[in-house]
Amino acid sequence: MCAKQDDADVPPHHGAGTERDTDGADAFEVDEEVQHALDRLTLLINAAEALSSTLEVDQGLRRLCRTLIPGLADWCAVDLLDDHGRLRRLVVEHRDADVTSPGLDEGLLPPVEGSAASVALREKELFERLAADTAVVAPLRARRQVLGVLTLARTRREARLTEDALSLVEDLAHRVALAVDNARLHAEAQHTAERLQRSLLPELPTDGPLEVAARYRPASATARVGGDWYDAFVLPDGAMTLIIGDIAGHDLRAAVMMSQTRNMLRGIACDRKEPPGKILARLDAAHHILYPHQTLTCIYALVERLGADEPWLLHYAVAGHPAPLLVTHDGETRFLTGGRSVMLGVEPEVHRPAATDTLPPNSTVLLYTDGLVERREEDLDRGLARLRQHAAALAREPLTTFCDEILEGMAGGGSDDVALIAVRTAPPHAGPAVATP
C-alpha cells in the first residue's frame, strides 16, 4: 500500500512528459506564426519588386500574378477601367499552363451595370471553367478613384482562401492600385513632355535647290524626353544654316532648355555674319552666363555656294558632337572630322576652330545625335561603321526615305532619344540657294 500511497503521492512519470509536450506544441505554434509572417513578408516584397520592375502596366501586372501563384492563389486576374470607363481584363494567370495562357480571356469585358467588383464577380464563365472553389475580389483604389479589380482564387478545397488572407489581399490591392496610378501619371507626364518637345521643333525651309529633311524620335526603352534638337533656316545672303545639338539630361527641364538655347543660337546667327567657330564661341559665352554648369554638344554649319558654276561648300564647327557624315551620290561615305573643340559649358574661353569641305553635286550631309550610333552592348566604332553602311545603301533614295530608313535601321532598339537632320545638294548647274519667304 505504501507503494500505492507513494504512487498516489508522487505524480505519474507520464505527467511530466505531458507538460513537456505542451511546451513543445506552444513553441511549434510560435514557429508556425513566425514562418507565416515571414512568408507573408516575402510575398509582399516579391510583389513590390514585380510591380516596380517596369513602367509597362501590362508587363508589371503579369509579373505580379505570376508571383502570387501558387503561393497565395491558383489563378488570378486583373481588370482595369480604361479612359472610357470600360472594364478591360489585362491579365489572367493560372498555375496550370494548360488551363490558360497569356491572351486567353483577356480584353474588353462586356458592359454591365454595377461596380467594378460586381463586374468581376459576375464573370461566371471564367470562374466555372477555372474551377474556383474560393475567390477574393478586391477593388483597386487610388486617389479616391476605383481603377479596377484584383481577383484571386483557389481551386483546391484543402487550400481555400481564408479570412486571414483578406488583409494580405487588401494590402496587395493597395500596392497594385498605386503602381497602376503611378504608371498612368508617368505616361501622362511623358506624353505632355513629348508633345512639348515636338512642338518646339522648327519648320524646315522648303524653297531653293537645297533639300532638307529631319527626324526626331524619343527614347524607346525608357520613353524619356531629352534635350536633342535640330534646326535649319536660310540667312538673308542665301546660305543655309544647319544645327544639331544635345543638352545633357532627359527630362522636361532639358527640353525647355533646349528650346531656349536653340532660340539664342538663332539670334546670334542672324545678328552676326561670322564663321561657325565664332558663332559657337558666342553661344558658349552666353550659355555660361545663363546656364552655368550645364553642358551641351552642338554642330553649327553653313551650306552655300558663290554661283551656279561653283561647288557647294560646307562651313562647320563641332563642339563635342559626333562628326557629320558625307554621303556622295555614288554611295561613298566619310566622316567630316575638322573644326572640332570641346563641348559647350566646359571652357568658355576655349578657341573654337571651323572647317570647310567641298560637297559634290547630289551629295548628302547627315547631322545626328549620339543616340543614333551609341549602344551599351557595342563599341562606338561599330555603331559608326553601321551608320556608314546604312547611309551608303540609301545614297540615291529620296531624302525623306533616306532619313526614315536611317532612323529605323539605326535607332530601333536604342535607349536614348535621337535627332537627325540631312541636307542634299542640288544637281550640277542648279541656281543659287534662295531665302525662304
Q: What is the CATH number of the domain that holds 160?
A: 3.30.450.40
Residue 387: predicted pLDDT:
96
Flag whether pLDDT at 435 surpasses 50. no
Separation of CA 172 from chain center: 26
Residues 174 and 230 in one domain: no
In this structure, what C-alpha cell is assigned to residue 261? 538655347
Q: Which of 250, 210, 211 is nearest to 228 (CA)?
A: 250
Cα gap 114→155, rounded to integer Å: 26
Strand order in the sheet with 325-327: 211-217, 418-424, 364-368, 325-327, 333-335
Q: In this predicted model, what pLDDT tens digit does every residue of 72-123 receive, in sequence order?
A: 888 888 989 887 888 888 888 888 766 655 445 666 666 655 555 455 555 6
Q: Mean pLDDT score of the chain, rounded to an integer?
A: 80
104: left (phi over 0), alpha (psi -120 to 50) or beta: beta
H/E element, 93: strand 87-94
Q: How far, in Å, are 12, 34, 158 from residue 37 at the CA level?
A: 39, 5, 21
Name residues whose C-beta falls within 8 Å of residue 409's C-beta, 6 or more positions apart in sequence.
390
Residues 221 and 185 in one domain: no
Torsion sign across C-alpha atoms 170, 48, 67, 128: positive
Residue 130: predicted pLDDT:
67
Flag whether pLDDT at 70 surpasses 60. yes
Residues 258 and 299 in one domain: yes
Residues 250 and 392 in one domain: yes
Flag whether pLDDT at 224 surpasses 60. no
Q: Which of 173, 192, 211 is the last residue of a domain?
A: 192
Q: Which of 171, 169, 191 is nearest to 83 (CA)?
A: 191
> Band of the pLDDT at 64, cuts 50, 70, 90?
confident
Cα gap 155→131, rounded to integer Å: 5
Q: In this predicted model, what pLDDT tens digit does every residue of 255-270 receive, in sequence order?
A: 778 888 999 999 999 9
432 in a structural domain: no
Using only C-alpha atoms, what is the Rg of the chain? 34
Look at the block and give the residue holding cell 573644326.
Answer: 339
245 in a structural domain: yes
430 in a structural domain: no
Residues 227 and 368 in one domain: yes
Residues 105 and 178 in one domain: yes
Q: In this predicted model, what pLDDT tens digit does every residue of 350-388 receive, in sequence order?
A: 999 999 999 999 999 999 999 999 887 788 999 999 999
Beta bridge partners of 107: 89
Q: Which of 143, 160, 192 is the last residue of a domain?
A: 192
Q: In this predicted model, what pLDDT tens digit does every residue of 278-325 receive, in sequence order?
A: 999 999 999 989 888 889 999 999 999 877 778 899 999 999 999 999
Q: Which of 172-176, 222-226, 259-263, 287-291 has the lowest mean pLDDT?
A: 222-226
Cα gap 97→168, rounded to integer Å: 25
Residue 233: predicted pLDDT:
93
10 in a structural domain: no
Percent of the chain at pLDDT > 70 equals 74
Stretch 419-424: mean pLDDT? 96
Q: Which of 128, 158, 192 is the last residue of a domain?
A: 192
Q: Which of 147, 150, 140 is nearest to 184 (CA)?
A: 147
41 in a structural domain: yes
342 in a structural domain: yes
217 in a structural domain: yes
Cα gap 432→437, rounded to integer Å: 15
Separation of CA 252 from chain center: 14
Residues 184 and 218 in one domain: no
Domain count, the chain: 2
Residues 295 and 358 in one domain: yes
Residues 185 and 207 in one domain: no
| Domain coverage including residue 378 | 201-424
Flag whether pLDDT at 10 surpasses 50. no
Q: Which of 409, 410, 402, 315 is nearest to 362 (CA)?
A: 402
Beta bridge partners of 88: 80, 108
Residues 102 and 224 in one domain: no
H/E element, 316: strand 312-319
Report the CATH number at residue 235: 3.60.40.10
Torsion of CA 126, 129, 130, 136, to 10 degrees: 40
Q: Which of 28-32, 85-89, 232-236 has the lowest mean pLDDT?
A: 28-32
303 in a structural domain: yes
Residue 352: predicted pLDDT:
96
Q: Which of 228, 221, 223 is nearest to 197 (CA)?
A: 228
Residue 309: predicted pLDDT:
77
Of residues 5 and 107, more confidently modeled: 107
Residue 310: predicted pLDDT:
84
Q: At what angle do helices 164-200 and 252-271 cross, to 10 degrees?
A: 10
Residues 296 and 322 in one domain: yes
Residues 397 and 341 in one domain: yes
Q: Which of 172, 142, 189 is nearest to 44 (CA)?
A: 172
Residue 92: predicted pLDDT:
84
> Band of the pLDDT at 194, cuts 50, 70, 90?
low
